[in-house]
Every structure is written in structure tokens, then in C-alpha cells.
Structure 1
Amino acid sequence: MDSSPPTPPEPAEPADTVEGLRARLRRSEDRFHAAAGGMLDAFYLLDAVRDAEGTIIDFRFTELNENGADIIGRRRADVIGQRLCELLPINRERGYFELYARVVESGEPMLREDSFAEADGIHASWLQFQAVKVGDGVAIHTKNITQRKRQEHETQRLYNELRMIFNAVPALIFFKDCHNNVLRVNQAVADLMGMPLDRIEGRSTEELFPEEAASYYADDMDVLKSGVAKLGYVEKQTLPSGKRIWLRTDKSPLYDADGEPLGVLAVVTDITEQRQSALQAAVLEKAVEERQAMGRNLHDGIGQQFTGVRMLIEKVRRQVKRGEVPKLSALDEIAEVVASASTEVRRMISGLTPERIAVEELPVALGQVASNVQNFYGVPATSRCMPVVGVLQEEAANHFLAMAQEAAINAARHADAELIEIELLVDDAALVLSVTDDGCGTSCEGSGMLDSESTGRGMQILGYRASEVGGRLEIGRPGSSGSPLPTGSGRGTCVRVTVPR
């Protein structure tokens, strides 16, 4: 315990005496100098120097702290009393004198940042100036922000470098927050959408992709809630221009250091050309298969039939040469073989890819498919098509016709069916094409895109064509999807393509 006697208080000077006022002034000055000297930043007090007309022509240093003296490379004692622009001409060259004069005349404070070179006589690369009016002069608080500026420049350099890498990636990159807003995209996105980056970043998905926004957000929430990336799924997207493209998307959740969700990073690849190329390749391969099958049929079937016809004709020719009258049964046999060969040729032709049609011709063309199935394969077939003019484009109508023919002929050839139904129904929600049979069923039940390893070429092309019209292919038993057959037996197959409107 401290046993020393307490320090007696200083005698108080009467406030209304000269000595009292001087003492108070000295204490105020001491506190001011202590505060200014203890500041980490530079501090200056300047009084205005005016001419005979009262115009400010310069400023005079009346006070500054040691940090202020260090920044301008002078001793404090050598600065006090000096004129600002005479001591540091850069103040007039850079326009600071005019700014300080405006502060004095207007009373409005000033804040400015500026950079300096070594030749400027300032011992800092970057300074921040804040000036306020004090009497007929200014008080200037000057902060050395060199380190902050270096950090900002380094941050900007890293940002530019990352942005350059970001934009060099050919895939489409989206960074979205938890509220379905697009925060960042790369240049590939801007190029595809035909919009500058600043018109994409910061906007909601509803503004950019109104048709798909809800499904995108649902996917984002699934990824964020599960914490598991969703990789390699394929979807169709409508651009602001109206163009439809196919995309393969990988979505990954992003979290901050505390584990709070930040949003979703989506890396998207435009696979439109790949899908079109795959469809073209599949169609070409199917055409080759059809040609090879036709060659085999011509050789093994029709070729043999025509060989028989040639032999019968040779027999009749020999009879005529001998002066005999040919038997009518021989001519009937020739006619029967020719008719059989003609039917086989028409059957082969019916299985080829149909010729292009206009949209309004689709109902008749589907009816012709049903008629061909019945005439050439002996399987009763019906068709029903609701009006599609104004609903389908010509390209889509031809895809629907090709899908109906592929599914119907496949059922006639392989399903051992007794009835095939072709329907194209239209309502406010979707267009639905279904080809249903009551045959022996299929091993290709499922939905989505069919691959060549698990299905035949025809079913693979069906899947591609369905995707090209923006639809989904489903294959199942009648009654589980599509229109059930009247028998209700549960046998058979329903091939259905659903295209949302």
C-alpha cells in the first residue's frame, strides 16, 4: 500500500483574472500539442494569407505535428511560419491551394486521395487529405495510405488475373447466390447471350431465363441443402434471343468460412452441336443399316423370287418353242410370285425415313403410317391427331412423324401385336405423342435419353428426336403412361413423347 502523502491539488486560478485565462490557455495548448503529437497521422494548421482586396493568395503554417513534418521532409521548427505554396509548390501545381481556399470560403470540408512520386518531395506514395475550416484557415488531417493502396492494387491485379483466367474458360460459368440472383458470369456466357457482362451480373434468374428460372432455383436449393454437387445433367435452355440450346451442367455448393451457404457455382457446357451431330450420326447409321437390310432382303427374298419367275418364264418359253400351249396355272404362278415381290418392296420402302411434310399434313401422314402398318405387316393400326397448326413448327412436325413411324413399325416387326394405336394429343400444358401396342412388351422400359448400349438404333434415334423437340421419351406398359389399350390386359408397350408447351 502506498504510504506517500497525496499530491496536493494545483491552486485554482480565478477564471476572471488575466492569469487565470492565461493558465487555462496554456493547459489547452498543452493538451492540443499532446493530442497532435500523439496522432499516428499527419496534422497541419494553416491560416489564410490574403492580399489587400481580401483574396486568399496563400496559406501559412501555424502548427503541425512531427508526422506532418516527416511527410514533407522538413523539421517542424523550420516549417512553422512558412507559406504553403512557397515551401511546397506542388500544392499549387496539383490544385490543392484552390481546394483549401474553397474550404475556407464555403465552409464545406474536402476529402481527396492522391499519389506522389519521389521527385514531388513527399515522403509517401499515397496520401489521403481531409481539410476542414478553422477560423480563417484550414485544419488538414493527412493519412499515409500507401500500404492500403498497395494492397488494393495487388487485390485488383489478382482480380484481373482471375478474371482473365475465368473468361478464358470456354465453358459457361455462373456464380449465383441463395436467392436465385446471378452474381458473376464469364465472357463465354456474355457471348452466348449476346449481352455485356454488366447487363447480366447482378440480375435475377427470372429476368434472364424466365421459362427455366423456377427449375434452376429448385436444383440450386437441392444442391445447397444436400451439400452434394450435382454433375453431368442435361437440360434445354431458351436464350433471351429465343434460341433454344442444350446444356450439360455441373453444380457445386459454395460456403463461407463459417459454413454458411454463399450460393452455387454452375459450370455449363453447350452441347447443342454435339447432340445434333449425334442425331445426324445415328440417322446416318440407321440409313446404312436400312440399306444393308434392304440388300439382304433383295438378295435373300426378292432375288430368290425373281429367280423363280425367271425359271417359270423359261419353262413357258420352251413350251411355246415346241408349239405347245402354256398351261394357265404356270402364268398364274408367275403373277403370284411377282405380286408377292411387289408387296415385299412396298413393305421395305414403308420402313424408310419418311419424306418431309408441312405442319398441316401431319394428321394425314400419321394416318398413312397406320395404313402402311396394317397393309404391309398385317397388324391393325389406328391414328388420331388433334390440330397442330400454330402449335408445331415444321421441323418439329417432321420429328413427330418420324418418331411415330419408328415406334409403330418397330412394334409391327417385333412385338407380335394385334393392335397398334398412334395418338398425338394437344392441351394447354403439353403435346403428347403415344404409340401403344398390345404385343409382347419390351426390355427398354424407362425414360429420358436412351443409349446405344442398352437399346437398338431405332430407339436411340427416338430418344434423340424427342430431345430435339424439347420433349421427354418414356417407354412403359400401357396404363402406366399414355392411353391404355381397350383390352386392359397390361401386355404390350407404350412409347410416349411429352413436349411441354
Structure 2
Amino acid sequence: MNTTQIGKISILMIEDDKLDEALVISTLERDGLSFEHTAIQNKQDLHTLLDSRPWDVIVSDYNLPAFSAYEVLDILEANNLDIPCIVISGCLNEETAVTLLKKGAHDFIPKHNLVRLVPAIRREVAEAKNRATKRQVEQALKQKEKLLNNIVGALGEGLAVTDAQGRILFINPEAERLLGWRNNEVSGLNLHRLIHYLKADGSPYPEQDCPVGNYTRQGIPYRTEDEIFIRRDGSFFEVSYVATPIRENDQVIAVVTAFHDISRRKQAERELNESRCRLRELSSFLQSVREEERTRIARELHDELGQALTALKMDLTWLLTRFADDQDEMLVKTDNMITLVDSTVDSMRRISANLRPGLLDDLGLAATAEWLLAEFQERTGVEYTLKISHEEFDFDNVLNTTIFRILQEAVTNVARHAKASRLDVELEDCDERIVLSIKDDGIGLIHQAASANKRKPFGLLGIRERVTSLGGHIDITGQAGQGTKIRVMLPKQVITEPLKEHDKSIAG
């Protein structure tokens, strides 16, 4: 602080000689000092006035009858008061002056040289104010630092601060808990070499391969959930962390890494994924069992019931030829029975085809798809187109059955809800996968749900389940009044894991 900027100065004067007091005041006034003062002569008054108000400076005679300048300095020290004390004396040697200065006096001025008094007062008051300002700033910084430490300590995630070279500057209490290290133990150590030297698969993780440094050196934060941190005891935990660079003048000066343990979450995700896989396997197994059962029933209907009905018709036809012409009632009854048998045979064939079309096993997927769509058009009046990328479009039994059932579910859904007039189906053989596209010009997916009385679209759910069980992908899009499009992508190489006996017992 500039001494010329100091306002009115409050002076506590300790002097028992009125003439000396007047001399000091005269000197202050002559040199243009703006001040107010109070003069005292004993320790009791000193204590009282120090407690009553703040003072800018104390001007004290060296030796008074009641007490001395040494006692003044002791009182200031005991009360932890930073008030400049300037000692004045008429006869004092250099050694005593040095002792006073070491004791805490800010200056010593002989009475025959009072010309130094005003500059000394201005200087010491300015320095005292500077010290007070500095203390206020330091106190504010300490309070902010304490608040920051409390905030950092209360964080529910670990925090590690490193310099630009990766050396640890600070870790918070949560980081201490997660890592097993104390902050004072790791200060200055390389963070990567301490807790990040292994990859998730247990292989070494060289520091130069770690993307944290590469990203943060460019000023780019780095985030991941696929790595591990190693604890002090050598154990590890799966971690989610964000490393954020701190920049100053376009230079990275530090990196703040916030992290937390996600081992439980990762384990839960693995268990959930495993459960989903087992459910898909179980679903595939159930579909396989159901398909086998359908095939068996369809075969029995065709082979046994079909043969029995055919034999029955033959017998009825033979019987019809044995009635006399005048047995009209018997002729009509027998003819009705033959008609009923024909109708039953037709129903049996339709039921058998719905259970498991023999075309699928005999002529393959393309012919079966054509038959299904033709039958769909005949039943609903909805025109269709079928585009197949290859004339010989046939795969293994599992894939053929899955594609057929998806198409069957889709056309059933169109017949029930879409109110369509046209259906376009396309089968594509695309390298490693098969693409099935089904598009109608109906009311759209949203209105289909409304027309189905807000029931769950089990047909679409069934399609999704079949696709997922084979590791495929499905997109379903639709807009009101513009129809619905289903696009299914299935891998040619279907990987199916056999169910364990426990799973089969659940399925059965």
C-alpha cells in the first residue's frame, strides 16, 4: 500500500512527560500527518484501550515509571496483536535498540531525531495494513481450501489429480478407500504404474499404450468403462473413469481422473447377459421341440388319419354303387357322407400344412414361401409380390424353418391388423447373411396397435424372439397411413449351443 494513500491514523501514545508528548504531537502536525491520538501512562489503561478499539500504531517512550517498552511489546505479543510499535527515547545505546527490535519493536527513534517519526509511522502503518490484507486473503483461501477439501472428501467417487507427466499430486478419501493407499504415500508416484499397469484381460498395460495420456495431452477428456484399477494388495476392480485435462495458457498442466468401482454392475450385466443367452437357448429349444411336434402331428394327420379317411371314402363310394335306384334316402345320405369326408380331408390337409407344410421339406423355402403367399392372397384378397435373389434359395432346416415362421407370423399380422391391399416380400442372399423384407401398404404400425385393442403385438414379439435366438437383427418401421416394413437379417451360419439337461427339464 502506498503511504500517501493512508487516511487518518489512530495513534496510541504511551508517554508520562507532557512536554515530550507535546513535542511529538508538534512534530506530527508539522510534517502534515493526519491523525488522532490518545495518551496513557500505565498498563491498566493500555489493556483497556487495546480492548476498546483498533489502533494503527503505538508510539511509546522507552522507560516510564510505571512500566517500560518491553512490557508493551510483551502485552502485544500475549494478545496476538499486530500493531506497529515505535519506541522513542532520549538516551539509548545501539545495543539496547537492537534488543528492542528483536523483541518486536518496529522502529527506534531518538528524541533528538524526531524528523524520522512521521515517515516511520507512515511506513509501518502501510506495512501493517498490507499484512492485514494478506492475512484476510490467506484466511479466505484457507476457508475456500477447506470447503473444497470437504467437497472433494464428500464425493462418492474417487478423485486423482496428476501433473502433466502423470505424477500424483492428490487423491481424495474415496480414492484412498478404493485403492488402499494414503494420499501422503502416493504423492509424486506415477499413477499409471501404480494402479493401471494391467489390462482387463490381465496382460501388461504399457503406459505408452494407455489412451489417457494421448487424449489429455491434446486437451481431450477420455472416458471408459472397460478397464481395471489395481489395489495396493494386488487385487483389482472394474472401473469407470473420466480423465479430464486442466489447461493453462493452452498448456495441459494437470489431469483430474474421477473414477468409481463398477465391479458389481459389470457382474450383474454379465449375469443378465448370461441369463438372456440361456433364455434364448431355451426359446430356441422350445421352438425346436414345438416344430418337431408339429412335424410329427402333421405326419400322423397325413399318414394315418389321411389314409383312414381315404379308405372310408373308398368304402362309401363302393357302398353307393350297391344301393338300388329306388333307395333315394340311402343314396343321399351316402353321398352327403362322401362330401363330409372330402371336406374333412381338405381340413386335415390345411391343418397339416399349417402345422408343418410338407413343401418346406420336399421343395424347399422358395416354393413354400410362394405357396404361403398364394394361399394368403386367396384367403384375404391382398395382392402380393415375391422377389427372390436366387432361384435355388434353400438353407439348413433350422434356418428354413425360422424364415418360414417369420414370414408366416408377418402375413398373419397383416391379415389381422394392417387393412392392406398389397404385400411385397423380398428374400436376398447377401454374402454372410440372409435378408427378409416384408412391406405392406396398410394403416401403419401405430394404428395396427389401436385396432388390436391395445393388446401386446405377440406376433411381432414372436418374430423378434426367433431372430434374436439365431443372432440376427430386426428393424420394424411404420407410419400412419403409409404401411409397415419389417426387415430381418439372419446369419447363414447359425450358432446354437445345446441346452444342458437342467434347461431341458425346465423346458419339458
When you count helix as a share of all residues, which structure comes out higher?
2
Structure 1 length-normalised TM: 0.38
Larger-gyration structure (1/2) = 2
Structure 2 length-normalised TM: 0.37
